[in-house]
Structure 1
Amino acid sequence: MESTPLLENKGKEDKSKLGNLLKANVVFLVFHLAINIRNPLITQYLYKRYSDEEFNNSTGSANYPNQKSKCYLNVSDPSYMLQEKVQENTSNCQTILTAIGSSGAVISCMFLGAYSDFLGRRFLFIVPLVGEVLKFWLLTVVIYWNLDLRYLYIGEVFEGISGGYNGVILASYVYTADNTPPKNSRTVGIAVIDFTTYLASAASQVITGYFIKDLGYLYPSVTTASLMLLSLVLVVVLLPETIKTDRKSQYPTPVKAVKNVFGFYFSKDFGPKRSLFWLSLASYFILYFSQGGLYVVEYLFQLNLPFCWGPELIGYFNMALSLTKQFLGIPVIKLLHLCTSDPGICIITSIIQAGAYVLHGLANTDVLLFSFVLPNGLAAPLLPALRAIMSRMAPAEMQGSLFAGIGLVNIISSTIGITAFNEMYDATVKILRGFAFFVCAGFQLLSAVIIVVFLVTSRSVVDTDTSTVVVINDNDWKPGPIIPQDKPITDTTM
């Protein structure tokens, strides 16, 4: 693969633009309020619909307040068999919905990220938010008229075409990278995006549980769709653009855009840094595959034996998870930065996360399950630190392309993970209900081993200058020298 380097732009500021970061986090907070109301809503709505179907309840019951969850304990009871069938149908439907949305988002997010380096970050926010608005309102229509659940597939098509959830996540990380220098402040900035997610989750989970219990599924769905529309409006009226206008007329062809996305891992212009990109990407894939794969399993684990939780208790648990991550995440990063680098943070938190999942898998009482909350909160910096490592290795003018690649990993790994862990849970639920969580713990340890290799390898890689711009095989750019700097990737200087 041929490529031509470009001389770096020295006019970049060394300080974070706090005003832009604050506005972006307001948008992201509203967006995730919508997401965190919808996530438990859709799982419990599907569970209720399939339960009505299997137990021959009235077809209109899904619109009305949810009754107390029933758990059948006697395995010889026919109702127990139906309960297992409901669980299986819910899991399978979630898998199909995820596969439809993610398959299209793989392509759309790649091009959205690459072209946002030229067309702007507002563009990167607006397109996926439009798709999410359509998807959320379609769910409201399905609930209101009690339509066939297959109509939800249409919403996932909107998700795929527009980039949807993964597109907004991509936009948020890129926007944060644009407004922070490539130092420890970027790690904190990227972490704040994740912790805004946790704040939104904490604010919505318990409310959602009581919302569903007292008013059914329709009003929460209307609320979440309205919040998603509000986040789109906020992007249009609130967020300033961070891409210079002179770059907007120089956007590459689709082929060049794809090469920019994958150039970090294949282009010779990145030299020995390619091995570091590969190692960090492998670790990230493993983490997202395992943690994202447990998303549906966690709800099913709580809804059924031995817990038999209803919406309220699920809400309390998720709120506790979110609050611990929110309040422990940034302090843990700041504390660990005093004695180690971002790779060190990844290794330590991977081990803590592995222990947390072992504890989750062993839980057979409410108290034991809630004990998972604290170590899970201490491990919150894991993914933000890994994203920051990759962002600092990439040129400032290619952050969109970098996070487009990370977005592809998010989509592919979570899709495969959800499918794999759902099947794993279905196959082992009668033998060892916590087996999926033990497997996830093993993946956390594997990721820690890869980061150790990354840390050792980075000691011998001197050329880690983050400001060198490389445009893959783009003959329209004039060549210029690459100016390396002797600054190791493990540097933690603010």
Structure 2
Amino acid sequence: MKKLYFVEPIVAIYAFASFLIFPLVQQYVYRRLWRDLTNSSYPVSDNSSRCAPTNGSNHSSQHEEVQRAASLFSLYSELFSMIPSLIVTLILVSYSDQRGRKVTIILPMVGSLVYVLSFLAVSFFELNLYLLVVASFVSSLFGGIGTLLGGCFSYIADRCEDGKEKTLRMAGVDMVIGLLSGVASISTGYFLRATGFNWPFLTSALAQLVNLLYAVFFLAESRVIENQGEVSCGMAVRRLVKGVQQIFSGGSRNRNYLLGLLITIFSLYTFADFGGLSMITLYELNEPLCWSEILIGYGSAISTTVFLTSFVGVAVLSHCLPDVAVVFIGMLSLCGGLIFVAFAKTTLLMFLVRIPMMFAVMPFPVMRSMMSKVVSKADQGALFACVAFLESLSSNIGLAVFSSIYAITVAWHPGFTFLLAASLCIIPMMMLSLVNLFRAEESEEETEPLLSDDRAPTPDEAPVA
């Protein structure tokens, strides 16, 4: 059987299956907690809003109690899944250099399938809600979405010899994620209203299963390893650690300061971005918005257009502005959008917040490119493994921290978490001025060797025969 060399179908199906249930997860938890805590059925209406002006203060207190419990549930899920996912990501990324990329693609899909099937079982059999926390932990043992995307990007890098082809295919992956997640998000609300939770969970599980079968039986390995000798995971991790050390030991002091500064800015922005935006669904379910599943689906779909507008922004602005300016515009876009969310009290305003946030994704690809430019090509793999680890760490900590803060502040100001995230964005925005300072201090003699391929690889970096 002739195998294929395309990972784009995997990303497309994974994005559709994940975003089909992503808006449903918090809604399902919210409805179950509502029933358990209030001893009443969840208020479902055919109108766009479930809030009734005559419900009274008791109804408002019920909303606050359920909101607090739902955000704490998200916190527990993140805490139990964060550390295993980070460790597995590091091991799989380093191990794939010696044993091929498919392992970084297949295992996260197994974890996602376990996660979705767990939701289906809890929903169908009305099992204890906190079994989902256990499911999050078990699925994290197989890696996460960062592991899968890292494997797919590495797979594309292995297959593409031409730089333009590589850039085009990687940009295509981002576009696929944005488009398919938008289609899935629009479908979610109607699917939920027509069939309930079980059918969307089952559909997502079947899609994940088809995706897994394609990866196992039809996807060819991008790295043909002729040497069948055993390479332990411990050895792979040691090589990764040595590669990270080499990144900083092989450059000048100013270059190291610059790289460390860029990594810090990237991590802080990831923390504010993922942490702040993680509470939007709960905010939309709360008073005074009280969005229905239909509106939540439309809101999630519109949010995914940020991937498209940010891609266009990078393509256009990078031709006329320096990288630092493009990153600053993207951070300012997120900051403005978060402030807008904090004070959005109507459906129209909540939809309009996506306009100031339209360039919020721009800093991620531009900063990856900036970090790549100050590191030699022989150290690119170690760099991006380190960046992937810090990105997962920052996003998971952000989700946990903002979930707990939202639980504390929802009673007196539900929008406080968004204001806090916007305030945190100011820190990396201010630090960007130091990037130009370190760049100005670097001489041409220091920067030119860093961008060349002349450095001889160390024995640990030598390719496996």
TM-score (normalizing by structure 2): 0.86
* Aligned counterparts, 1:46-195, within 5 A: 46-57=29-40, 70-71=50-51, 77-179=57-159, 189-195=169-175
Q: Deviation digits for residues 19-76 of structure 1, max 9, x if unmatched? A: 95xx222211111111111211111000010111122247xx99xx997764366796
Mapped pair 1:321 → 2:307: no
Give 2:149's aligned amino acid. I
- Map of 2:280 onto structure 1: 298
1:286 is displaced (CA, Å) by 0.9
For residues 274 and 339 of structure 1, the distance between their equivalents in structure 2, rounded to whole angstroms, comes to: 28
Answer yes or no: is the 8 Å Cα contact 1:111–1:254 preserved in 2: yes
What is the rounded CA distance, in whole Å, between the counterparts of 1:176 and 1:208 in structure 2? 31
Q: Could you tell me which amino acid in structure 2 is paired with residue 367 of structure 1?
A: L
Distance in structure 1 (CA, Å) of the matches to 2:419 and 2:102: 41
Partner of 2:177: 197
Shift of 1:195: 3.0
Q: Name the CA distance, whole Å, in 1 between partners of 2:258 and 2:161.
A: 20
CA distance in 2, matches of 1:277, 1:107: 23
1:442 is displaced (CA, Å) by 2.6
Secondary structure of the 1:245 match is: coil
Cα distance in 1, alignment partners of residues 17 and 383 from structure 2: 27
Q: Which range moves more in the overlay, 374-383 or 81-90?
A: 374-383
Instruction: Work out the CA distance in 2 between the residues paired with 1:247 and 1:374.
Output: 53
Asked if 1:37 corresponds to 2:20, the answer is yes
User: Which one-letter code corresponds to 1:52 in the other structure?
Assistant: R
Q: 1:186 to 1:294 in 2, by over 3 A?
A: farther
Match for 2:24: what amino acid? Answer: L
Could you tell me which of 314, 335, 345 is aligned with 1:354?
335
Deviation (angstroms), 1:420? 1.7
Is residue 295 of structure 2 the alignment partner of residue 309 of structure 1? no
Could you tell me how far 1:196 is from its partner in structure 2? 2.2
Unaligned runs of 5+ in 1: 1-18, 479-494
Pair 471,256 (structure 1): closer, same or farther in 2 beyond 3 Å: farther
Looking at structure 2, the residues matched to 325 and 34 of structure 1 have their Cα atoms a distance apart, in angstroms, of 18
Q: Is the CA contact 1:264–1:277 (under 8 Å) kept in the aligned structure 2? A: no
5+ residue gaps, structure 2, are none
CA distance in 2, matches of 1:394, 1:236: 34
CA distance in 1, matches of 2:400, 2:183: 29
Partner of 1:259: 241
Deviation at 1:238, TM superposition (A): 4.4
Q: CA RMSD in A?
A: 3.1
**CA 1:79/1:262 → structure 2, altered by over 3 Å: closer, same or farther?**
same
**CA distance, structure 2, for counterparts of residue 39 and residue 261 of structure 1:** 36
Deviations 1:341-387 (A, max 9, x none): 43432122222222222222222222222221123223332212222
Q: How many angstroms apart in 2 are the aligned matches of 1:51 and 1:195?
A: 37
Letter aligned with residue 24 of structure 1: V
Quote the Cα distance in structure 2 between the aligned partners of 1:281 and 1:182. 27
Q: Quick check: 1:396–1:469 contact (8 Å CA) kept in 2? A: no
Match of residue 389, structure 1, among 344, 363, 370: 370
Q: % of aligned pairs identical?
A: 22
Query: Cα deviation per residue 1:189-246 (whole Å; 9 max; x = unaligned)?
Result: 5444333222122101121011111111000000111111222223234444333525
Give distance in 1, aligned partners of 2:199 and 2:70: 22
Q: Residue deviations 1:129-151, cap 9 Å, x none? A: 12221222121111111111122
Change (3 A) 1:466 1:433: farther
Structure 1 SS opposite 2:321: coil
* Compared CA separation, residues 114 and 375, structure 1 to 2 (3 A): same
TM-score by length of 1: 0.82
Q: After the TM superposition, which of the residue ranges 356-365 and 390-399 deviates more from structure 2?
A: 390-399
Asked if 2 retains the 8 angstrom alpha-carbon contact of 1:182 and 1:392, the reply is no
The 1:107–1:362 alpha-carbon spacing in structure 2 relative to 1, beyond 3 Å, is same
- Distance change (3 Å), C-alpha of 1:132 and 1:440: same
| Aligned mates of 2:371, 2:286 — CA distance in 1 | 40
**Is 1:225 paired with 2:205?**
yes
1:453 is aligned to 2:405: no
Q: Distance in 1 between matches of 2:321 and 2:399?
A: 33
Conserved? CA contact 1:261–1:405, under 8 Å? no
Matched-pair contact (CA < 8 Å) for 2:105–2:147: yes
Distance 1:118 1:311, change over 3 A: same
Q: Distance in 2 between matches of 1:408 and 1:385?
A: 18
Q: In the TM superposition, what is the alpha-carbon distance from 1:315 to its structure 2 partner?
A: 0.9
Q: Is the 8 A contact 2:15 2:180 kept in 1?
A: yes
Structure 1 209/174 Cα, relative in aligned 2: closer, same or farther at 3 Å? same
Q: Counterpart of 2:64 in structure 1: which amino acid?
A: E
Residue 14 of structure 1 is matched in structure 2 by: none
Q: Is the 8 A contact 2:334 2:356 kept in 1?
A: yes
Distance in 2 (CA, whole Å) between partners of 1:276 and 1:179 is: 31
Gap change, CA 1:446 and 1:239, over 3 Å in 2:
farther
Total equivalences in the alignment:
451
Residue 338 (1) aligns with residue 324 (2): no
1:181 CA displacement: 7.0
Whether 1:242 and 2:222 are equivalent positions in the alignment is: yes
* Residue matched to 1:485: none
Conserved 8 A contact 2:91-2:237:
no
- More displaced stretch, 203-212 vs 370-379: 370-379
8 Å Cα contact 1:108/1:163 also seen in 2: yes
Find the counterpart in structure 2 of residue 13 from structure 1.
none
Secondary structure in 2 matching 1:136: helix
Do the aligned residues in 2 keep the contact of 1:190 with 1:388 (CA within 8 Å)? no
Aligned to 2:425: 444
Alpha-carbon separation, structure 2, partners of 1:197 and 1:408: 21
1:309 & 1:225 partners in 2: Cα distance?
26
